[in-house]
A = this chain, B = another copy of it.
């Protein structure tokens, strides 16, 4: 395996091949790219030599010439969140099918890091950008640069809640929450609590609206006592749950939660308090974590956000923008439905 270790110090370029073959650089280039005007025998000689010497075209040179990189940049907050890693799968799949490669960059929910990532991708002249903004992002100068250079940007999942004109691909979190609530009502619950996420997050409110509308559409009265908010901090979640279950005359029998990790904290806490009807409480959260099958008191269902599909829709839209099939000024908004998955 290590046989041909000759440490070629002179890089194998077209010029190098040309010299070896005593031909011109342009002939070699054309032969490798299978130009019709090149003699079959010549092609064969060139291609053999190229293979033998492990010729690998230099992408930087090609990018420079072609004024495009065939690279899609992705900026996202965190690779530890399965939502994002699953969404990447959808992006990659469709991108490579269309001859694009993907560069992933994490912001760690830090604005500085997001700006750095953006600048790196800008310098790399990516052909398009897919971004889920950090929690801190309020100013978009570093992302607007792309569009100013004519590089399309698609915001996905996390996006500016105020009405920035931009291309968006979002999970239909309203519909997901609506279905979950409706499902619980269908199972006979009348006292359904809603545990929301950070209030500044755009879809906290969409989800709440899904909850409210499901109640209304099914004639279940709404009570503000059944609503609480938390960030992702455990203490905070416990405080919220305490509040929701404080009034013994007014005790929720079901729970819809913003995200499963929060829900797990809630369930764990409720269990630890020896809540009298703990076993009857039915809960649902966003996520559909694979881990659920190991829990002794699992949620009755999960709101599957289909991250692969979100990613796929983002890259599809982006490619249409790159190919000018959609005008960059013609801002698109794509919603991807959630699916309620009942655990068995």
User: Which residues in A have some Cβ–Cβ distance to B below 8 Å?
Assistant: 1-2, 4-9, 11, 54, 56-61, 63-64, 67, 69, 79-80, 82, 85-86, 88, 92, 96, 101, 103-104, 106, 116, 119-120, 122-125, 139-141, 144-145, 147-150, 164-165, 264, 267-268, 289, 291, 293-297
A101 contact set on B, CB distance < 8 A: 120
Which of B58, B61, B150, B293 lies in contact with A9, CB distance below 8 A? B150
Residue pair A60, B63 in contact (C-beta under 8 Å): yes
Q: Smallest Cβ distance from A97 to chain B, in angstroms?
A: 12
Residue pair A1, B80 in contact (C-beta under 8 Å): no
A141 contact set on B, CB distance < 8 A: 1
A124 contact set on B, CB distance < 8 A: 59-60
Beta-carbon nearest neighbor of A4 in chain B: B148
Residue pair A148, B8 in contact (C-beta under 8 Å): yes
A61 contact set on B, CB distance < 8 A: 60, 64
Taking each of A116, A124, A144, which has the highest tally of chain B beta carbons within 10 Å of its own beta carbon?
Answer: A124
Which of B8, B11, B96, B148 lies in contact with A54, CB distance below 8 A? B148
Bound-complex Cα distance A106 to B85 (A):
11
**A60 touching B64 in the complex, CB below 8 Å, given contacts A79-B79, A85-B79, A144-B2:** yes
Bound-complex Cα distance A136 to B326 (A):
41
Residue pair A58, B148 in contact (C-beta under 8 Å): no
Beta-carbon nearest neighbor of A57 in chain B: B123
25 sample A-B contacts, Cβ–Cβ < 8 Å, listed by A number: A1-B144, A2-B165, A4-B148, A5-B148, A7-B148, A8-B148, A9-B150, A11-B67, A11-B149, A54-B148, A54-B149, A56-B122, A56-B145, A56-B149, A59-B124, A60-B60, A60-B63, A60-B69, A79-B85, A79-B88, A85-B85, A103-B103, A104-B104, A264-B294, A267-B294
Q: Smallest Cβ distance from A153 to chain B, in angstroms?
A: 12
A63 contact set on B, CB distance < 8 A: 60
A7 contact set on B, CB distance < 8 A: 148, 150
Beta-carbon nearest neighbor of A8 in chain B: B148
Q: Smallest Cβ distance from A316 to chain B, in angstroms?
A: 20
The 5 closest A-B pairs by CB, nearest first: A60-B63, A296-B296, A79-B85, A60-B60, A59-B123
Residue pair A5, B147 in contact (C-beta under 8 Å): yes
Bound-complex Cα distance A164 to B144 (A):
48
**A64 touching B54 in the complex, CB below 8 Å, given contacts A5-B147, A82-B80, A264-B294:** no
Known: A58-B125, A289-B291, A295-B296. 9 other contacts (CB 8 A): A56-B122, A56-B123, A56-B149, A59-B123, A59-B124, A59-B125, A60-B69, A88-B106, A96-B116
A64 contact set on B, CB distance < 8 A: 58, 60-61, 64
A82 contact set on B, CB distance < 8 A: 80
Bound-complex Cα distance A1 to B147 (A):
12
